[in-house]
Structure 1
Amino acid sequence: MTTPDTRLSSRPSTPVADTAPVPAPAPVPTTLDAETLWRQDRDHFVHPFTDFSVFHDKGCELITDAEGIHVQDIHGNRFIDGIAGLWCVNVGHGRAEIGQAMAEQATRMAYFSTFNNLSNAPATRLAAKLAELAPAHLNHVFYSCGGSTANDATIRLVHYYFNRLGKPNKKRILSRHNAYHGTTYLAASLTGIESNNWEFDTLDGLVTHLSEANLYRRPEGMDEAQYCDHLVAELEATIAEIGADNIAAFIAEPIMGAGGVLVAPRGYHARMQEVLRAHDILYIADEVVTGFGRLGHIFASEAVFDTQPDVINLAKGLSSGYAPLGATLISDRLYEVLGTPQGKGGVLSTGFTYSGHPVSCAAALKNIEILEREELCANVREVGPYLEQALATLSRHPTVGDVRGSHFMMCIENVADKDTKALFPVDARVGDRVAFEAQQRGLIIRPVGHLNVISPPLIWTRDTVDEAVAILDEALAATAESLRRDGYL
């Protein structure tokens, strides 16, 4: 891989922020233009998840171009994309046929309302395609603009469903500690990552958070089966305490994403659903990250985890990040109630201006066509275990406490002491250090506190895995050295 000497030039490199790289067809700007854009970005763009303790001095690296598995910054430095933009660019960057499909639709009809008795062809075709791909009982699609809004819309629909059934007390939602379900007001309340909501308000009394399923940090002395029993027992006790008549739904990611790529013990999801069904509590699968191939299947809930959710929420890989789009897949059972008019002139009075946006739906249709034509799920099933095995070799580093995940959804947990699993002090910024060292060597991974997430485009090959893991090997060694130098090891 060639990397120009400008990598360490005008601006200090910092770990990439939580913003998806956006391809730009224009030539790489001059150094003066780069400096101007850097200042404009720092002075005017309020980035999601900004660390203001360093942002005002260091700003952001501007990503200008992307193709395949690579992205390029404004200085011409080229990187392997190890996070698929942000869990989402599943088919890879620079897919001209997706751009062409979007352009053709935008030229023909960029937008028109889908309210009342109006629709458009791409939204209709995509709904039918999603129903074809989804588990057999999920045949109805409600569109939104992304993952947060998909989760928001779902909770509104679930509450409406029980209101229509004459069960208005069924309002409480069960979520999990360290779950990530978004940052809109309701979705943030579902989210169980405490740091996400520091100094932010959430909805009081609506959500109860159960324990996350964290095999690495399970109670001492429990094997995997006992730990699963423990988590299921907690659910049963929580239902008994709150009362099933007061609980509407349980929402869960099949594998926790931003909360640490936590893979639950075997049988956990199916057993949780069994308990929920016995108490008339709905099961919502947040497949915003796991959907569209990241675990080797279009949908993971049934194929991987043997569950039949009442609702599946989608975004990210649905369009591979080429256009904002979210979707809620609704079971026939729920739709039978939601689709029954309240009375003469009854209206399902919820939705978004951009529900079923034709350009976004055109992008999603072409994205799914590529996933199927190139058999990218099969590629993940073949290359994913190789990635898992290669990353597992990094456990030899003194700071690597756990390497976990599944297929193209992986995480390294950095610890100060492998025996006790004690963490580094927050000011050690260990995840940032690893991401920085990797980026200096040509690989972008995601720092999340003491964690580093690897969630690549689904087009990675074994050769790409070898190159990426070799970079990570060097990055972890350099990180350990810097931590020793600074007195943390």
Structure 2
Amino acid sequence: MDISTVEDALVTDAKAHLIQPWPTSGQIGAEARSGLMDGDGIYVTDMEGRRLIDGPAGMWCTNVGHRCEPIARTLYDQAMALSYSSPWYTMSEPSVRLSKRLAGHAPGDLEHVFYTTGGSSAVETALRFMQFSNNVTGRAEKKLIIARQGAYHGSTYLSASLNGRPRDHDWMDSASDLVVKLTCPNPFRRPSDMTEPEFCDFLIGELRDVIETRGAENIGAFVAEPIMASGGVIVPPQAYLKRMRALCQENDILFIADEVVTAFGRLGHVFASKEVFDIEPDIITFAKGVTSGYFPLGGAMISSKLLERLRSSNHSDAMFAHGLTYSSHPIGCAVALTNLDLLEQGLLAHAQEIAPYFQSQLKTLEDLPLVGEVRGLGLMACVECVADRKSNNPLALDLEVGKRIDAHCQRLGLLVRPLIHMCVMSPPLTITRPQIDDLVSILRQGIKLTMDELVREGLWRG
């Protein structure tokens, strides 16, 4: 059977049977998307046989690259040794060993981990733990959650309620009564009359005002991605996170760092909170890169102080009635251990060494009139397109600009992640300088072709 016949069959079957994530109602259950057939290193091959650089590393997660033999062997070996164990009644050696390894990398007293199946369930776990903890310690009213505009924290009910992107809530219900949204800490979108330090002062003042207005006794947690990933790789002002952490600490508000994207090498460290941003959260959530996407696994690192508070309460019989069938999955934990080996044995050092080159080469794209800003840190970056550089307004094409660039890039040999008028890059950590040059060259061509297209259609003056 030739590849075109396989492609036609997959497209037909997908439209007939597969419900894709994040579908529109007009296409739900009747949609086929771009198909990938295999991968190797930083590359994937699509249904048409084209070899593409995997610019988003799947979904921020394929950190060690595709077709990694040590991880593939671990999957097989662990499945043959112990394929599953119930976390309700038993524990496995890989889960215990991984817990110890993660505690050794986590900042402060984050010495305990609750395993989940991914990022959404990790954030959900952290929030449910906050609620449980405050109930047990006699502070049942301390439940408000502070999040931020532009943030993304997941797709479960509570985690999705934190999301700060308008489309996430247009047609979906949420626990909006439990959440307070602060201003997105995006320096590129700050008021034109504010310097970046003044913008940071404004953001800190906003949190202080919310605490005073709502009352610290009613606020349970502040949840923040160190870098807003799906919001467009928003790198906050210098010292912003450290000052927010201090304000939370002063008011007994849990600081939950959502490191689902920034952990496991994306910023050059296993966890970025302390090493990059100089903060020690009360809880860190993680997923994605913990197994480099080879197996669904996530978790929440929890402070020893919080657990000691529970153990010393007057309700020793209070049950944290929360768990998942695949918590502490032995295969996932075994894969994560091998993944950590690879990171510690040179991949973290490589990511730290290659990141400045990655950022500087992408920054050269700012000479293109369509590009308003290229921003990022480590091996994650965003190219934001604008209608004009005076107003920095996005193009009036809504979702189409990023999609247009992605379509051109795919024909040229690169996958990007389109986000409305933005393109996100977060390649596997194994990427080399020549491969970065290829990525940037193709992205430049894709943006130029999009510019020409927009001018021809009368949608942009250039």
TM (norm. structure 2) is: 0.96
Aligned to 1:15: none
CA contact (8 A) 2:20 2:28 kept: no
Segment drifting more, 466-475 vs 343-352: 343-352
Once the two structures are superposed, residues 264-293 of structure 1 have per-residue CA deviations (whole angstroms, 9 ceiling, x without a partner) of 000000001111111111100000000001
Amino acid at match of 1:378: A
Inter-partner Cα distance in structure 1 for 2:85 and 2:135:
31
Q: Per the alignment, do residues 56 and 478 of structure 1 end up closer, same or farther by CA in structure 2, a change over 3 Å counting?
A: farther
Once the two structures are superposed, residues 344-370 of structure 1 have per-residue CA deviations (whole angstroms, 9 ceiling, x without a partner) of 655332111111001111111111111
Inter-partner Cα distance in structure 1 for 2:166 and 2:279:
28
SS at match of 1:119: coil
Amino acid at match of 2:418: P
Amino acid at match of 1:359: I
C-alpha RMSD over aligned residues: 1.7
Amino acid at match of 2:34: E
Aligned to 1:335: 307
CA contact (8 A) 1:314 1:326 kept: yes
Aligned to 2:365: 394
Aligned to 1:380: 351
Structure 1 residue corresponding to 2:210, chosen from 235, 238, 259: 238
Structure 1 residue corresponding to 2:445, chosen from 474, 484, 487: 474
**TM-aligned CA deviation for residue 482 of structure 1:** 0.4
Q: Per the alignment, do residues 342 and 156 of structure 1 end up closer, same or farther by CA in structure 2, a change over 3 Å counting?
A: farther
Amino acid at match of 2:78: Q
Structure 1 residue corresponding to 2:163, chosen from 179, 191, 196: 191
Q: Percent identity?
A: 42
CA contact (8 A) 1:428 1:483 kept: no
CA contact (8 A) 1:341 1:347 kept: no
Structure 2 residue corresponding to 1:256, chosen from 206, 212, 228: 228
Inter-partner Cα distance in structure 1 for 2:397 and 2:24:
13
Structure 1 residue corresponding to 2:384, chosen from 407, 413, 436: 413
CA contact (8 A) 2:204 2:244 kept: yes
Once the two structures are superposed, residues 124-166 of structure 1 have per-residue CA deviations (whole angstroms, 9 ceiling, x without a partner) of 1111110011113110000111000000011010111111221
Aligned to 1:66: 39
Moved segments of 4+, more than 4 Å: 51-58, 339-346
**TM-aligned CA deviation for residue 428 of structure 1:** 6.9
Amino acid at match of 1:305: F
SS at match of 1:216: helix
Structure 2 residue 144 is matched with structure 1 residue 172: yes
Structure 2 residue 290 is matched with structure 1 residue 318: yes
Amino acid at match of 2:451: A
Once the two structures are superposed, residues 146-187 of structure 1 have per-residue CA deviations (whole angstroms, 9 ceiling, x without a partner) of 000000011010111111221111000000001000011111
**TM-aligned CA deviation for residue 191 of structure 1:** 1.1
Alignment of 1:69-108 (within 5 A): 69-108=42-81
SS at match of 1:48: coil
Structure 1 residue corresponding to 2:402, chosen from 431, 445, 449: 431
Q: Per the alignment, do residues 242 and 440 of structure 1 end up closer, same or farther by CA in structure 2, a change over 3 Å counting?
A: same
SS at match of 1:401: strand
Inter-partner Cα distance in structure 2 for 1:448 and 1:427:
9
Once the two structures are superposed, residues 360-413 of structure 1 have per-residue CA deviations (whole angstroms, 9 ceiling, x without a partner) of 11111111111111x212212111111111111111111101111112110011
Inter-partner Cα distance in structure 2 for 1:402 and 1:427:
17
Once the two structures are superposed, residues 237-273 of structure 1 have per-residue CA deviations (whole angstroms, 9 ceiling, x without a partner) of 0111111000001000000000111000000000011
Inter-partner Cα distance in structure 2 for 1:162 and 1:428:
41
TM (norm. structure 1) is: 0.91
**Mind listing any 5+ residue stretches in structure 2 that lack a counterpart?**
none
**TM-aligned CA deviation for residue 296 of structure 1:** 1.1
Aligned to 2:393: 422
Aligned to 1:38: 11
Once the two structures are superposed, residues 85-137 of structure 1 have per-residue CA deviations (whole angstroms, 9 ceiling, x without a partner) of 10000010111211111111111211111114x21111111111100111131
SS at match of 1:42: helix
Amino acid at match of 2:133: Y
Q: Per the alignment, do residues 55 and 389 of structure 1 end up closer, same or farther by CA in structure 2, a change over 3 Å counting?
A: farther
CA contact (8 A) 2:20 2:29 kept: no
Amino acid at match of 1:242: R
**TM-aligned CA deviation for residue 338 of structure 1:** 3.9
Inter-partner Cα distance in structure 2 for 1:435 and 1:236:
41
Structure 2 residue 455 is matched with structure 1 residue 484: yes
CA contact (8 A) 1:170 1:247 kept: yes
Structure 2 residue corresponding to 1:122, chosen from 81, 94, 106: 94
Aligned to 1:295: 267
SS at match of 2:131: helix
Q: How many residues align?
A: 460
Q: Per the alignment, do residues 153 and 164 of structure 1 end up closer, same or farther by CA in structure 2, a change over 3 Å counting?
A: same
SS at match of 2:176: coil
Q: Per the alignment, do residues 238 and 347 of structure 1 end up closer, same or farther by CA in structure 2, a change over 3 Å counting?
A: closer
**TM-aligned CA deviation for residue 444 of structure 1:** 0.4
Structure 2 residue 412 is matched with structure 1 residue 441: yes
Segment drifting more, 236-245 vs 102-111: 102-111
Inter-partner Cα distance in structure 1 for 2:110 and 2:138:
23
Q: Per the alignment, do residues 427 and 315 of structure 1 end up closer, same or farther by CA in structure 2, a change over 3 Å counting?
A: closer
